[in-house]
Chains A and B, each alone.
Chain A
Amino acid sequence: DVKVTQSSRYLVKRTGEKVFLECVQDMDHENMFWYRQDPGLGLRLIYFSYDVKMKEKGDIPEGYSVSREKKERFSLILESASTNQTSMYLCASSSPSSLYEQYFGPGTRLTVT
């Protein structure tokens, strides 16, 4: 069974704090993704990675960075959290062997106060 886990389900941070969101997958997938989900805006891609140490910007990368040091782990970093980054953050992974179907983690609900 496929498994994508995220480090926290709920997180509350203060404006200006550095925030780390971690995602781990156990499916040996090459591709990993970070999305944010906001009411009325749907899922928007922040960054994705197609290999260790490789990354590409998605549709809304501003204010975020990512790190992929190991194949199974993909981290999203908010360098200086702001209130407009309050959102649901979803991690996903995919692979050619699974026909590029994306599998999602349970999400992290981040509130920045």
Chain B
Amino acid sequence: GQQLNQSPQSMFIQEGEDVSMNCTSSSIFNTWLWYKQEPGEGPVLLIALYKAGELTSNGRLTAQFGITRKDSFLNISASIPSDVGIYFCAGLGGSNYKLTFGKGTLLTVNP
């Protein structure tokens, strides 16, 4: 089946730093989604991308849909302590029902 490789697995940064994480796949996806999950909560949708090359922002977050349709990245600028959590990428491929998820990037922000 389809698989997503998400990196890095974890990041420990200082408040104010910028963060970058990415997902790659051997398969083509039609939609890329980025979620954030805080401890004990369900994932919350941050950004959705629908076209190759698309660059979308949501506050301090920016995500891009790769030209090849096989990758996506998420940047967080000027990190703050409340950015702490696990960030997941997810891709929607041939099926409109099922998402393929990355394993997540655990972000820790040191005040």
What is the interface of chain A, defined by CB distance below 8 A to chain B? 4, 9, 31, 40-43, 45, 48, 50, 56, 58-59, 90, 92, 94, 96, 99-107, 109
Q: Is there an interface contact between B103 and A100, defined as CB atoms closer than 8 Å?
A: no
Closest 6 CB pairs of A and B: A104-B42, A42-B103, A43-B101, A107-B42, A106-B42, A104-B43
* A31 close to B50 (CB less than 8 A): no
Q: A99-B31, A101-B31, A107-B41 are in contact. List 16 more A-B contacts (CB 8 A).
A: A42-B104, A59-B1, A90-B42, A90-B43, A94-B97, A96-B96, A99-B48, A100-B92, A101-B48, A102-B33, A103-B45, A104-B44, A105-B42, A106-B42, A107-B40, A107-B42
Nearest CB on B from A38, distance (A): 11
Expressed in whole angstroms, the minimum distance between the Cβ of B105 and any Cβ of chain A is 11
**29 A–B pairs (Cβ distance < 8 Å), ordered by A:** A4-B42, A9-B40, A31-B97, A42-B88, A42-B101, A42-B104, A43-B43, A43-B88, A48-B97, A50-B97, A90-B42, A90-B43, A92-B42, A96-B96, A99-B31, A99-B48, A100-B92, A100-B96, A100-B97, A101-B31, A101-B33, A102-B45, A104-B35, A104-B42, A104-B43, A104-B44, A106-B41, A106-B42, A109-B40
Kindly provide the distance from the CB of B55 to the nearest chain A CB, expressed in whole angstroms. Answer: 18
B42 touches A102 (CB 8 A): no
Interface residues on chain B, size class: 20 to 34
Q: From residue B35, how far is it (CB to closest CB) to chain A in Å?
A: 8
A-B contact count (CB 8 A): 52
The residue on A at minimum CB distance from B6 is A42
Interface string of B86-103 (1 = CB under 8 A from A): 001010100011110111
Q: Which residues of A contact B48 (CB under 8 A)?
A: 99, 101
Report how far A39 CA is from B42 CA in the complex, Å.
14
Task: Give CA–CA (A104, B33) in the complex, Å.
Answer: 13
- Given A40, A59, A101, A105, which contacts B45 in the complex, CB threshold below 8 Å? A101
